[in-house]
Amino acid sequence: MSRARITAVETHDIRFPTSLQLDGSDAMNPDPDYSAAYLVLRTDEPGGPSGHGFAFTIGRGNDVQTAAITALTPYLIGKPVDTDLGDLWRELVHDSQLRWLGPEKGVMHMAIGAVINAFWDLAAKRAGLPLWQLLARMSAEEIVHLVDFRYLTDALTPSEALTILRERTRGKPAREAEILATGYPAYTTSPGWLGYDDDKLRRLCKEAVQQGFRQIKLKVGADLDDDRRRLRIARETCGPDIRIAVDANQRWDVPIAIDWIRALAPYDPWWIEEPTSPDDILGHAAIARAIAPIKVATGEHVQNRIVFKQMLQAGSLDYLQLDAARVAGVNENIAILLLAAKFGVPVCPHAGGVGLCELVQHLSMFDYVAVSGSMDDRIIEYVDHLHEHFVNPVVVRDGRYQAPTAPGFSSEMRAESLAIHRMDSARTRA
Amino acid sequence: MSRARITAVETHDIRFPTSLQLDGSDAMNPDPDYSAAYLVLRTDEPGGPSGHGFAFTIGRGNDVQTAAITALTPYLIGKPVDTDLGDLWRELVHDSQLRWLGPEKGVMHMAIGAVINAFWDLAAKRAGLPLWQLLARMSAEEIVHLVDFRYLTDALTPSEALTILRERTRGKPAREAEILATGYPAYTTSPGWLGYDDDKLRRLCKEAVQQGFRQIKLKVGADLDDDRRRLRIARETCGPDIRIAVDANQRWDVPIAIDWIRALAPYDPWWIEEPTSPDDILGHAAIARAIAPIKVATGEHVQNRIVFKQMLQAGSLDYLQLDAARVAGVNENIAILLLAAKFGVPVCPHAGGVGLCELVQHLSMFDYVAVSGSMDDRIIEYVDHLHEHFVNPVVVRDGRYQAPTAPGFSSEMRAESLAIHRMDSARTRA
């Protein structure tokens, strides 16, 4: 174990005024100001890197999220730079007093996720590898150690997880090479924000197809007539061969969801995303049964692996949309990838926001090399804003994420961006 | 509408060193320091009361919980003292930016609960009534307006809720008089903390029976041999006619829960409480099917009405243990009472902690007068510590909660207690 230690935890309340352009506008979020509760792990390793992580929020409350990360500082100072991240996850998530604030959900769980992800950024930088490669090269036993199976064993045991991972050992180098050569498929949500007018929708649909995307996504759920018109425009513009997903952002109750989606069926939507509350496992299952063969996708607001477990058990979803910064970081997402592999459900991560594209590409690429071994029917969301604030922004070309090669988790923001968009600076500018 | 307004929101980080005596120790919480993130609504009403509310935590993180309440201040300043609490609930819970931090769960949801409860304390004081009477005297329409039915209508519609409430209109005055005369049954958890030795357990069991309690509760889940021995001691001491509930505080996975509870069956446990994760709706249902006729009780960590809805739909629980300070306050608990009434499941509130007994008595008494109309198989938890810090502490006599008669929600702490147990003061004393 290294003698170098974590010496400081810096936190930053970072906000971007995205509501000015209605980027990110949907049926539940009319005017988000995309924000990050951001942290930096400083160490005393001579010439060594720092670790960067964040929770994504959409504005108000980012101060509370930042305070929750700050509250974890006493657990982190003095930890070795190569601390065991399976043990650290258990220490933070199962802290007997902190868990009362969830357990395993909401502000405190996202704070732990930000911290865990910062440690993974540090670990990958110290290993000189992008995170997806660091994870993909671990042994099955090392990966299983990272996962906490508490509350999962009725659906997935450690030995079943080992079996899944060992079955994927063969062909790993070839899949790693394939990722490096050709990347991973993406779809784009950029055309479909609810606040855009029809001309902008039409123009952005056309551009998306020209850029090589084979799937786009539209926000729906505020007004049925508008949704019909917008989906018709998108279908006419994209043609019959492009998959068009729609996303209701939790707008509906179960009976309304079923009626609304059936009304959109003539325009051949590929999946309906977040038709109702992310907490409604049984509701999603009822919707999925009622609207087949249209698919159900959900997950960006699913609080933890325990809810995903049940959604898989109940048949609540056809596509699992993990989020890199909602659950408790990389470790919990590995548990979720393993659960999805066990149930044979494709993982299509949620992205967008601030830096979520940067993070989830690593998880999907790791999934392909080491867990599911498949890209069939799998695709990562892509939204084309705010990447300029990252030191190693995603590269999407011809509708595919190109494999990141810089060491780390691609989570580090540029120092100028941090300085300009800190809450205090934002206030000064207002 | 009154012209008087909310002029200030005071917040206090209040901590009690309960870990010193192992009060509150259980299989998941070995050394809690019972705490409250506390707020006071000040108004400009001449001679008018203030409104008091709080979120309960068990120590570390109470600062984050307090910060979350503070973050709500801008929504509250300037609100009329008689603001519409149905509208206020919707404004806070559905705030498009804040809801990203949940939605409807964890730190931010509990903060909203504390605020909503403080407004109810203010409303009841201004009405000159204890909260349970204020609520019980409302019309069915007024009560339905307080409830947000979003995500509930596949199980309970507003018109079904109206029907339930109207059916209870007859006999209300008689039930109100009955509550005033004889109170509401209680059970005690005081004998059963895991940190107590066998002699203390035996002594406290004997005292509980002598005090008139017909049900006690023991913590279990750390060690099966210990649990067998402690349950045997309790059963021998209490005799066969006292109900003995056991509480695992989320300790087990589903398969372990089933085996463990079956091993305790010879000692005739009445219910098993929180056998596994509060998020595991399907897991609780599997346990309930496997261990019948032993009952399942859960709810103190259930994050919101949407999860309770599903637990009722899936048959996950036989007793619903709402918590006054976990969900978003009185309004959401009215939704939960209505759901329980629809499904015919008795509500037996969680209490203890800091001030939870003070709060939940109002909810159960309101339930009896206006919602379920029944005390059959219903009972409120009672734990005998920290009541001395409240201006109007609960009165439990002959195993029954006596009806509170002071105006308000019984949520106001004594000024000396606030001053002594503020985090800053606690630090000074350490």
Q: Quote the pLDDT of residue A424.
A: 66
pLDDT tens by residue, B256-278: 999 999 999 999 999 999 999 99
For the range B193-198, what are the long-range contacts, defined as Cβ-Cβ under 8 Å and sequence gap of 24 or more? B193/B22, B193/B23, B193/B24, B193/B25, B193/B26, B193/B219, B194/B22, B194/B25, B194/B26, B194/B27, B194/B30, B194/B219, B194/B220, B194/B222, B195/B22, B195/B25, B195/B30, B196/B22, B196/B25, B198/B229, B198/B230, B198/B233
Contacts of A210 (CB under 8 A, 6+ apart): none
Who among A28, A32, A65 is closest to B101 (CB)? A65
Measure the CA angle with vertex B393, ends B391 and B398; round to 5°.
Answer: 160
What's residue B428's pLDDT? Answer: 43
Choices 3.20.20.70, 3.20.20.30, 3.30.420.40, 3.20.20.120: CATH for A172-416: 3.20.20.120
Q: What does the pLDDT look like over A248-268, one tens digit per residue?
A: 999 999 999 999 999 999 999
Q: Residue A428 has what pLDDT?
A: 43
Catalytic-role residue among B12, B217, B219, B309 = B219
In this prediction, residue B424 carries a pLDDT of 66
Residues of B whose CB is below 8 A from A60: 71, 95, 97-98
Q: How far apart are CA B413 and CA B12, in angstroms?
A: 11
Name the band, by pLDDT with cuts 50, 70 and 90, for residue B425: low
**Per-residue pLDDT reduced to its tens digit, B25-55:** 787 778 889 999 999 999 999 999 999 999 9
CA pair distance B144, B160, nearest whole angstrom: 10
Write out pLDDT tens, residues B381-418. 999 989 999 999 999 999 999 999 999 999 999 999 99
Q: Which residues of B touch A308 (CB under 8 A)?
A: none
Overall residue count recorded for chain B in this entry: 430
DSSP reduced 3-state for B297: strand
Give the per-residue pLDDT at A19: 81
Contact yes or no for A5/A43 (Cβ under 8 A) = yes
Pairing of strands B319-320, B295-298: parallel
The answer, yes or no, to whether residue B429 has pLDDT greater than 70, is: no
Across the interface, do A105 and B110 touch by the CB < 8 Å criterion? no
What token pair was written down for A343? 């149930």
What is the pLDDT averaged over residues A31-35?
91
Copy the structure tokens of residue A225. 């007539």
Contacts of A154 in chain B (CB under 8 A): 253-255, 283, 286
What mean pLDDT comes out for the span A198-202? 95
Binned at pLDDT 50, 70 and 90, residue B427 comes out as very low
| Dist. CA B146–CA B119, nearest whole Å | 13
Cβ neighbours of residue B84 closer than 8 Å, sequence gap 6 or more: none
CB A77 within 8 A of CB B67: no
Higher pLDDT, A191 or A77: A77
pLDDT tens for A42-61 read 999 999 999 999 999 999 99
Of B104, B255, B277, the CB nearest to A306: B277
Across chain A, what does the average pLDDT equal? 95
Residue A386 region by backbone torsions, left for phi larger than 0, else alpha for psi between -120 and 50, else beta: left
Amino acid identity for residue A277 in this structure: S
ipTM of the complex in this document: 0.96
Share of residues in chain B with pLDDT > 90 (%): 92
SS3 B15: strand
**Residue B164: its pLDDT value, please?**
98
Helical axes B281-291 vs B305-314, angle rounded to 10°: 30
Q: Given this structure, which CATH class describes domain A6-133?
A: alpha beta
- From A101, A304, A310, residue closest to B64, measured CB to CB: A101
Q: Is A350 a catalytic residue?
A: yes
Distance from CA of B162 to the nearest CA of A (A): 19
| CATH 3.30.390.10 domain position(s) in chain A | 6-133
Tell me, letter by letter, the H, E, C secondary structure of B112-141: HHHHHHHHHHHHHHHHCCEHHHHHHCCCHH
**Beta-strand relationship, A51-57 and A35-43:** antiparallel
**Chain B CB contacts of A13 below 8 Å:** none
**Mean pLDDT (whole number) for A274-281:** 98
pLDDT band at B283 (very low <50, low <70, confident <90, very high): very high
Please tell me which residue of chain A has the smallest CA distance to B252. A151
**Residue type (1 letter), B242:** I
Question: Does B299 score more than 80 pLDDT?
Answer: yes
Catalytic residue among A219, A342, A389, A421: A219
Distances in Å between the Cα of A4 and the Cα atoms of A112, A126, B170 are 22, 12, 73
Closest CA to A86 of A136, A140, A148, A139: A148
**Amino acid letter at B95?**
D
Rounded to an integer, what distance in angstroms lies between the CA atom of residue A261 and that of residue A332?
A: 32
Q: What is the pLDDT of residue A112?
A: 98
Instruction: Please name the residue of chain B whose CA is at the shortest distance from the CA of residue A278.
Output: B103
Distances (CA, A) of A232 to A91, A228, A294: 51, 6, 17
C-alpha closest to that of A184 among A376, A406, A338, A385: A376
Q: Residue B58: closest CA among chain A residues belongs to which residue?
A: A97
Question: Phi and psi for B162 in degrees, rounded to 5?
Answer: -60, -45
A 10 A CB-CB count for B15 gives 22
| Cα–Cα distance for residue pair B189/B243, rounded to 1 Å | 12
The whole-angstrom distance between A251's CA and the closest CA on chain B is: 9
Cβ-based contacts under 8 A for chains A and B: 191
pLDDT reported for residue B129: 98
In DSSP notation, B394-415 reads --EETTEEPPP-SSB-S-PBPH
B387 included as an active-site residue: no
**pLDDT higher than 80, residue A22:** no
Radius of gyration of chain B (CA): 21
Length of chain A measured in residues: 430
Contacts of A152 (CB under 8 A, 6+ apart): A305, A306, A309, A335, A339, B253
Residue B1, pLDDT above cutoff 90: no
- Of A21-30, A92-101, A281-290, B212-221, which gets the smallest average pLDDT? A21-30
Q: State how far the Cα of B50 lies from the Cα of B69, in Å rounded to an integer.
A: 16
3-state SS of A308-370? Answer: HHHHHHHCCCCEECCCCCCCCHHHHHHHHHHHHHHHCCCECCCCCCCCHHHHHHHHHHHHHHH
Q: How far apart are the C-alpha atoms of B335 and B151, rounded to whole Å?
A: 11
Give the one of B58, B109, B152 whose C-beta lies nearest to A106's C-beta: B109
φ, ψ dihedrals at A374, nearest 5°: -140, 145
For residue A90, the distance in angstroms to the closest alpha carbon of chain B comes to 13
Using pLDDT thresholds of 50, 70 and 90, give the confidence band for residue B21.
Answer: confident
Q: Which chain B residues are closer than 8 Å to A58 by Cβ? A: 96-97, 100
Q: What CA–CA distance (Å, rounded) separates A291 from A122?
A: 44
Q: A294 CB contacts (<8 Å, ≥6 apart)? A: A261, A265, A269, A270, A271, A272
Predicted local confidence at residue A2, as pLDDT = 80
- Map tokens 């992580």 to a residue: A53
Per-residue model confidence as pLDDT tens digits over A149-193: 999 999 999 999 999 999 999 999 999 999 999 999 999 998 888
Which range among A16-30, A306-320, B124-138 shows the weakest confidence by mean pLDDT? A16-30
CB-CB: which of A102, A107, A310 is closest to B280? A310
Q: Which residues does chain B have within 8 Å of residue A284's beta carbon, measured at their own beta carbons?
A: none
Classify burial at B368, counting beta carbons within 10 Å of its beta carbon; exposed 0-12, middle 13-18, buried 19 or more. Answer: buried
pLDDT digits (tens, 9 = 90+) for B56-112: 999 999 999 999 999 999 999 999 999 999 999 999 999 999 999 999 999 999 999
Q: What is the pLDDT of residue A430?
A: 36
User: B109 near B304, Cβ under 8 Å?
Assistant: yes
Q: For residues A63 and A65, what is the distance between their CA atoms, to the nearest angstrom?
A: 5
Indicate the pLDDT class of residue A194, thresholds 50, 70 and 90: confident
Indicate which residue of B105, B125, B309, B350 is catalytic: B350
Half-sphere exposure of B392 toward its Cβ, with a 13 Å CA cutoff? 20
Sheet holding A51-57, edge to edge: A6-15, A35-43, A51-57
Q: What is the DSSP letter of B370?
A: I
For A390, the token pair is 């990252």
Q: Confidence band (pLDDT; 50, 70, 90) for A425?
A: low
CB-based contact B60 A307, cutoff 8 Å:
no
Picking from A66, A107, A115 by the largest number of B CB atoms within 10 A of its own CB, the best residue to mutate is: A107
CA of B303 vs chain A CAs: smallest distance (Å): 8
